[in-house]
Structure 1
Amino acid sequence: MQVTPAKFKVLTFDVVGTLIDFEAGLTGGLMAIAEESGVDLDGEAALALYGECRRDPAAEKFPDDLARCYQVIAARFGLPTGDEYGARMVEAVAASPAFPDSVSALKRLGGHFRLVAMTNARRWAFERFSTALADPFWKVFTTDDTGTEKPDPAFFEHVFADLAGHGIAKADILHVAQSQYHDIGISRQLGMTNCWIERRHGRAGYGGTIAPESFTEPDFHFTSLAALADAVEA
C-alpha cells in the first residue's frame, strides 16, 4: 500500500503506544515489583486491567494516573500497595522506550512531511518521550495544551484551528496512530484520513489501550512505522 507524499503536508501522530512502547515500560515496572515480592505476574492480564482502569471517571492525566491504577492492579494480583510503588510506576512509564523503528522512521518521514505530535500525555512526560524520539516534531499538542484528551473531538478541533493558521487544511493531514479507541475511530468521524499502526500485530486483544466499542477500518494499515516510511518512499 502506497502513501503519496504529494497528497499530504502534515503527519499528526499519537505518541504513546504508536511511537513510545508504553506497554514495555508498564510491564517492566510491574514485573520488577512482582519479582521483588515473589509474585508470578501475568503481564498481559495486568495490561488488560490497566486498560480497564483508564476508563474510570476518576482517571487522572497520563502518566500521573499510574499511581492510582497501580493500586488497582496490585490489589488484583497480590502486589504490595503504597504510594512509593505508585510513584515507581509513574516513573517506569515515563521512562518507556521508543519502539525500535520509531527514530529512524520519523527521520525518514520528516523528509517528506511536517510532523506533529498529538498526545494525551502530560507535557512533562511528553518532553521525555520526545527526547527518546530525537525531537522530531514541528508542533506539539499535549493534554495540558488542549485541556482535554483524545478521543474528545475538542482535542482534534484545537489542532485543526492551530494548523489552519499555517495554511494547513484537514485534507492536508494524515493522522497516524495505534489506538482504535483514542484516534482511529474519532479521526474517521471527523473526516480525517488515517493510518493505523497495529503495534500489537500477532497478539490478541488491545493490551494496555482502552478497547473500542467497535473496530474502524483505517484508510492505511501497517504493522510498523518503518512500513509506513517504506510506503511513502516506494
Structure 2
Amino acid sequence: MRRRLGADSGVVRWATFDCYGTLIDWNGGIRQEIARVFGEDRADELLQRYHELEPVIQEDGTLSYADVMTEAMRQLGAAEADAPMLAASLPSWPAFPEVRAALDEVRSRGWRLAILSNTDPAFIEASKKRIGVSFEETIVAADISSYKPSHKHWQEFFARTGADPAQHVHVAASLFHDITPANELGIPSVWINRLDETPGPLSQPTRELRELVGLADTLDGIVPLRSESATTSPSGRSKIEMPMTETRIDVQVESTQAPPTGQKHPNTCPGCGSHFRDDELAETLYVCGHCGHHFPMPSHARIAWLTDPGSFVEDAAGVRSGDPLSFFDLRSYGERLAEAELNTGLGEALIIGSGTVDGRPLELAVMDFSFMGGSMGSAVGEKFVRAADAAIERGTPLLAVPSSGGARMQEGIFSLMQLPKTVAAVEDLHDAGLPFFVLMAHPTTAGVLASFASLGDVTIAEPGALIAFTGRRVIEGTTREKLPEDFGKAEQNLRFGHLDAILPRSEQRPYVSRLLKLFGR
C-alpha cells in the first residue's frame, strides 16, 4: 500500500498561489466583457491596453479591486453604465479545467495551500467556490491596502502563518505581479506560462509549466519532503531516514536537500534543474557542473577570480546615489537603496579599483546585477568615469564587466545623462592611447549596452548572456512578431559580429592575461 508523506511527518510545506490567471481564467473573463462592450474586432487590442492600465491604477493602494477594474474600463472608453460591469462579471469567471484535480493532488502530498491575490474578499470567496478546493490562508489586497508586485502580500503571509521560507514555493502566471517580486524575496517559484510568454532577466522562474498538470511533482522537486528525523551525512547534505514501507517520493532532478532554517534556499539551475548551495556554486565559479549554465556571479567573487590574490584595491567606495527627484513609486527610492545595500552588502551596482592579472596592472569596473538590477544611476556613471580617469592616470587598460537592466528610472534624466558621460570617458581613454576591454555578463541591456558596454576595443561575453537593447517580451508585444529562439543571446551577437569571443568563466582570466600581455605597456 502506498503511503503519502505529508503533514503528519512534522514538516509543513506551503504552496502559495496567485488566483486570477493562475487558477481562474482572468484573461478570458476580461476579454469576454471587453468584447461585449466594445465589439469583438477591438477585443484583443483593448485587452492589451487593459493589462497596461491596471498596474498604473493599482499604484493607489487605497482603491478596491472593483474600483480599479471600473476605472480601467472608463479609461478604455466605456460608457458610465458599462464601466462597472467588468467587476460585476468576475464572480462568474470559471476555473481552468485542470485546477481542481491538480490542487487535490498537491494537497494529498501534504502541502498547505494559500492564495495571495490582488482583489477583494467578496471576489475571492466567489472564485474559491469555482475552484472547489479549500485553502488554509487567503490574503487579498483589500486586507493590506497594497497590490502586488509590492512585497506586502508575502510579508503578511509569513506573519500570519509562521511558514519556513525554505519550505515555501509560490505559483503564479504573472511575471510582473508575482515571479519578479518572488525573485526579489528569494522565494522559489513555478511559473504557469499559459500565454506562451518569454521571461526577462528579472523574472526567471525556478520552474515553468504550461498548466497545473504535474504541479505536485514539480513542487516536490523544488522542496523535497524532509522528516523531523533527518540527519546530516558526512558530506553535509541532508539525509532522510525513511520507514521501511513503500513510500512515494517524486523527484524531478538529482538535487541536494533544502538547507536548514535561516540559510538561503538552494540555487536552482534554469538549464537542468539541479540544486546547489551557495558554497557549491562558489567552488565552480558559479557555473552549473551538470549543464554549464552560468549563474550570476557576485562582483567581489568575480574580482577575486580575475585578479591576483590580494592585489585589488577598491576606489571610490564611498560614492553613493542620492535621491534628486524624491522619487516614490510603491516605496521611496531611498528605501529601495537601503534595502539593496542591506541585501547585497554593496554600496552601489558598480565596484571600481585597480589590481593585477599575472603581475600586469589593470583597472576594473565590475557591475553587480543583484544591486537594483545593475541599473545605472548617477553614482554608477560617476564611478565609471573615475575608473577611466584612474586608468589614464596610471597608464593601464580598463576592463569593464557590465551586467545591467539599463538606466535607473528612479533618477530620471540624471540617469540618462550617464550614457553620454560614460561614452565621453571611454573616448578619453582612447585619446590617451589606452585599451578598453569589455566582458559582457548576463544581462547586458538597455542604456548600459547603448553606452560604454558597446565601445570595447575587445569585447567578449559569457555563454548564454542576454545582450540586447530590450527583451523579447517587449519586442514581441509591440511588433506582434515571433523572434528567433536565440534572440539577443551572446551566441547570436557573435554570429552577427558584435562580439570578438564567447568564453566560459574558467577561460576568462587567462584570456584577460593574454590581452594585457598583448596591449599592455
Same fold (TM over 0.5): yes
In the alignment, what sits opposite 2:135?
137
Q: Which residue of 2 aligns with 1:43?
A: 43
Residue 124 of structure 2 corresponds to residue 126 of structure 1: yes
Deviation of the 1:214 alpha carbon: 5.1
The answer for the alignment partner of 2:28 in structure 1 is 24
Query: Displacement of 1:57 after TM fit?
Result: 4.4
Cα distance, 1:196 vs. partner? 0.7
Deviation at 1:61, TM superposition (A): 3.2
- Per the alignment, residue 103 of structure 2 pairs with 106
Task: Report the 3-state secondary structure (helix = DSSP H, G, I; strand = E; otherwise coil) of the residue aligned with 1:67.
Answer: helix
Q: Against the structure 1 CA distance between its residues 196 and 157, is the aligned structure 2 distance closer, same or farther, given a 3 Å change threshold?
A: same
The CA deviation at 1:33 is: 2.7
- Structural mapping, 1:148-167, within 5 Å: 148-164=146-162
Aligned residues: 210
Please state if 1:188 is matched with 2:183. yes
Q: Deviations over 1:70-115 (max 9, x none)?
A: 1222x3xxxxx33321121111233211111111111111112000
Correspondence 1:1-234 to 2 at 5 A = 9-34=13-38, 39-57=39-57, 60-73=63-76, 75=77, 81-112=78-109, 113-164=111-162, 168-201=163-196, 215-231=202-218, 232=220, 234=250
Q: Which has the higher contact order (CA 8 A, sep 6+)?
A: 1
1:229 counterpart letter in structure 2? A
Give SS of 1:24's match.
Answer: helix
What secondary structure, in the 3-state scheme, does the structure 1 residue paired with 2:16 have? strand
Change (3 A) 1:132 1:40: closer
Which TM-score applies when normalising by structure 1? Answer: 0.80
Identity of matched residues, %: 23
TM-score, normalised via structure 2 length: 0.38
8 Å contact from structure 2 (residues 25, 94) kept in 1: yes
Contact 2:53-2:72 at 8 Å conserved across structures:
yes
Q: 1:42 Cα shift? A: 3.2
Taking the aligned partners of 1:31 and 1:155, their CA distance within structure 2 comes to 32
Preserved contact between residue 120 and residue 143 of structure 1 (Cα < 8 Å)? yes
Q: Deviations over 1:121-148 (max 9, x none)?
A: 1111001111101142111111122221
Bigger Rg over Cα: 2
Offset at residue 47 of structure 1 (A)? 1.5
Comparing both structures, which one devotes a greater share of its residues to helix?
Answer: 1
Distance (Å, rounded) in 1 between the aligned partners of 2:70 and 2:41: 18
Change (3 A) 1:178 1:134: same
CA distance in 2, matches of 1:146, 1:94: 21
Amino acid at match of 1:223: R
Structure 2 segments unaligned to the other structure (5+ residues): 221-248, 251-521
Question: Given the superposition, is the C-alpha separation of residues 40 and 118 from structure 1 closer, same or farther in structure 2, using an over 3 Å criterion?
Answer: closer
Summarize deviations over 1:138-166 as a string: whole Å, max 9, x none. 111111222211111122111111121xx
Residue 145 of structure 1 aligns with an amino acid whose one-letter code is D
Equivalent residues of 1:13, 1:177 under 8 A apart: yes
